[in-house]
C-alpha cells in the first residue's frame, strides 16, 4: 500500500530514472570499450589515397606512408596505437579507462558516454550532499564517514569527466583530435600545411559532421 502511494505521488519516478541512467552509462561504457574504433584493415588500403568525409586533400609535399608496425597504408589522420596494435582512423587517443582507442567510429559514442556519466555523477553528488547534515561531533563523523568519502570521490570524478567533456567539445568544434592538438609539430600533413588547421570548416559544420 505504501509503495502504491509513493507511485501515485511520483516518488518512485526519480529513483527509476536514476537507475536507468546508470544502466545506460554502463551499456555505453561496454559498447565504447568493445567496439572497433576504426581500425585500418589491409583490404582498405586503396581508400587511403582518398580522404574521409570533411577532410581536405593532403598538401602536395605530403606522401601517405605505410605504417612501420602493421605495414598498412595509413589514411590521413590515422595513427598506429601500440597498445591496440592497429592503425586507427581519425585517431584521437588511447583511453586507459575503456582500454580501447577513441577513433573515427566510437568517438561520438564516447562523447555520449561522458555526457551520461556526468549527469549520473551530478545526480549522485546531489543525493550524497542532501544526506549530509553537518555536525561538529565525533559520533556524527563515524556515522557519516562513508557518505562524506563518497561525496568527495564523486566531486573528484565529476571534475575529471567535466574537464574531459569540455576539452573534447572544444577540439570537436575545431575539427581536430587530441593527438593532432598535442603533436601538431610532429605530424607531416599539419606541419606542411599552409593553414594552422586545414580541417576546420567552422564550428557549426564541424559539430554537424561529427555528430550527424
The span from the CA of 18 to the CA of 177, in Å, is: 32
Cβ atoms of residues 168 and 111 within 8 Å: yes
The span from the CA of 71 to the CA of 86, in Å, is: 10
pLDDT at residue 136, rounded to an integer: 62
Which of the two residues, 123 and 49, has the higher pLDDT score? 123
Q: Where are the domains of the chain?
A: 1-36+97-211, 37-96
Residue given cell 583490404 in the structure block: 43
Active site residues: 95
| Bridge partners for 79 per DSSP | 88
The span from the CA of 73 to the CA of 81, in Å, is: 14
The span from the CA of 103 to the CA of 89, in Å, is: 6
Residue 49: band (very low, low, confident or very high) from pLDDT cuts 50, 70, 90: low
Given a cut of 80, is residue 100 above it in pLDDT? yes
How much of the chain exceeds pLDDT 90, in percent? 56
Taking the model in full, what pTM does it have? Answer: 0.82
Which of the two residues, 112 and 151, has the higher pLDDT score? 112
The span from the CA of 53 to the CA of 193, in Å, is: 18
pLDDT at residue 179, rounded to an integer: 96
The sign of the CA dihedral 141, 147, 153, 157 is: negative
pLDDT at residue 138, rounded to an integer: 59
- The three-state DSSP-derived secondary structure of the chain is CHHHHHHHCCCCHHHHHHHHHHHHHHHHHHHHHHCCCCECCHHHHHHHHCCCCCCCCCCCCCCCCECCCCCCECCCCCEEECCCCEEECCCCEEECCCCEEECCCCHHHHHHHHHHHHHHHHHHHHHHHHCCCCCCCHHHHHHHHHHHHHHHHHHHHHHHHHHHHHHHHHHHHCCCCHHHHHCHHHCHHHHCCCCCCCCCCCHHHHHHHHHC
The span from the CA of 96 to the CA of 119, in Å, is: 22
* Tens-place pLDDT, residues 19-36: 999 999 999 999 999 999
Cβ atoms of residues 92 and 178 within 8 Å: yes
pLDDT at residue 54, rounded to an integer: 41
* Tens-place pLDDT, residues 104-147: 999 999 999 999 999 999 999 988 888 777 666 656 667 777 87
pLDDT at residue 63, rounded to an integer: 64
Amino acid at each position: 500500500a505504501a509503495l502504491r502511494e509513493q507511485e501515485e505521488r511520483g516518488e518512485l519516478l526519480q529513483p527509476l530514472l536514476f537507475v536507468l541512467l546508470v544502466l545506460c552509462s554502463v551499456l555505453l561504457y561496454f559498447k565504447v570499450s568493445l567496439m572497433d574504433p576504426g581500425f585500418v584493415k589491409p583490404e582498405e588500403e586503396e581508400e587511403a589515397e582518398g580522404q574521409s568525409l570533411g577532410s581536405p586533400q593532403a598538401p602536395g609535399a605530403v606522401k601517405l606512408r605505410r605504417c612501420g608496425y602493421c605495414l598498412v597504408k595509413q589514411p590521413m589522420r590515422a595513427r598506429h596505437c601500440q597498445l591496440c596494435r592497429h592503425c586507427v582512423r581519425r585517431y584521437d587517443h588511447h583511453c586507459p579507462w575503456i582500454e580501447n582507442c577513441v577513433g573515427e567510429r566510437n568517438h561520438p559514442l564516447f562523447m555520449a558516454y561522458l555526457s551520461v556519466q556526468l549527469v549520473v555523477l551530478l545526480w549522485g553528488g546531489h543525493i550524497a550532499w542532501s544526506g549530509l547534515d553537518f555536525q561538529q561531533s565525533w559520533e556524527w563523523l563515524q556515522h557519516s564517514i562513508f557518505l562524506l568519502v563518497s561525496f568527495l570521490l564523486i566531486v573528484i570524478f565529476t571534475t575529471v569527466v567535466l574537464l574531459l567533456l569540455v576539452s573534447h567539445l572544444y577540439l570537436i568544434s575545431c575539427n581536430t583530435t587530441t593527438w593532432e592538438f598535442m603533436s601538431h609539430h610532429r605530424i607531416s600533413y599539419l606541419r606542411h600545411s599552409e593553414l594552422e588547421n586545414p580541417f576546420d570548416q567552422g564550428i557549426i559544420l564541424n559539430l554537424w559532421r561529427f555528430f550527424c
